[in-house]
Amino acid sequence: MKKTLLLTKTLLLIFILTSCISEPIEEVIEDIPTTCDETFDDKIITFCDDFLARDNSNDNGVDITKWAFQTGDGSQYGIPGWGNNEAQYYREDNAFVEDGLLNIQLKNEAYGGKNYTSARLWTNNIFSQTYGRFEARIKLPLGDGLWPAFWLLPDNTTYGTWAANGEIDIMEARGRVPNEASGAIHYGGVWPNNVYSSQTYTFPMGQSIQDFHEYAIEWTENKIQWFINDELYYETSDWYSENGDYPAPFNTDFYIILNLAVGGVFDGNILPDPAIFNLPVLMQVDYVRVFQYFV
């Protein structure tokens, strides 16, 4: 929506300028505020990517000062199948920026011993934060076995390893269930003694995960709230870590992950019909922003 309004204002400005003055249009357009330039009375932006800037980008337009890539099938991290029996091999080439959108593309191709490739971006060692608002505007693909996610993991092992040190899932979805998305936290003990809490959101009639929606959490010392399009649908203050006092484990810095998986235990290890790959299978991200509230 913000980029649509920006485009409309830009076109109007171009019309006015070309009608009235000969000043170079490009210099004026650069001054128009973007999603990352907004200011607020109660909070400050601490991280933002609206995928418009071309500075510091890799060959596919991804800003490498804001994002890094996790590649492979998880074996490199000691978790083959990414710990969930996932069927994809992550490659940097499967993420690209086009027309102001980050695209994460799932491909039906054999690579690295897997039958699918995709991409997984993270901000570990680049950006992490404790508390605040984390949000992203995302459009998701449909299809059996597709598992897109926008989530957070801790950048430390203060309370041990997963999931005693926590996980916050801002958004997960199943591509075969277009009218639902969910949020969750994982906590408790180190696997397999971990537990989780979650809630599912059902979109209003006529909407689906295939539309752009803003997925967000607001995270404070003793509460995490989940929003879709600013509608609160879940909140909890009930968690623990076996290795620390409350509000552990959700009182340390967490970093951001964006990925599109396929298969895996989240949806019963099902796989997509090959016909869905007749068109590009894309998870598209309009922007990602993080805020810290003023005290």
The residues with which 202 forms a beta bridge, in sequence order, are 180
SS3 for 15?
Answer: helix
Interstrand relation of 223-228 and 213-220 (parallel, antiparallel or unpaired)? antiparallel
Active-site annotation holder among 86, 172, 214, 218: 172
Element (H, E) at 26: helix 25-29
Asked if 283 and 38 touch (Cβ cutoff 8 Å), the reply is: no
Q: CA 159, 164, 165, 168: dihedral to nearest 10 degrees?
A: -160
User: What is the C-alpha separation between 165 and 240, in angstroms, rounded?
Assistant: 10
Tokens of 191: 């696997």
DSSP secondary structure letter of residue 238: -
DSSP secondary structure letter of residue 146: E
Active site residue 172: yes
Active-site annotation holder among 92, 167, 214, 218: 167
Query: For residue 38, which phi and psi values (nearest 5 degrees)?
Result: -65, 150
Active site residue 242: no
Residues marked as catalytic: 167, 172
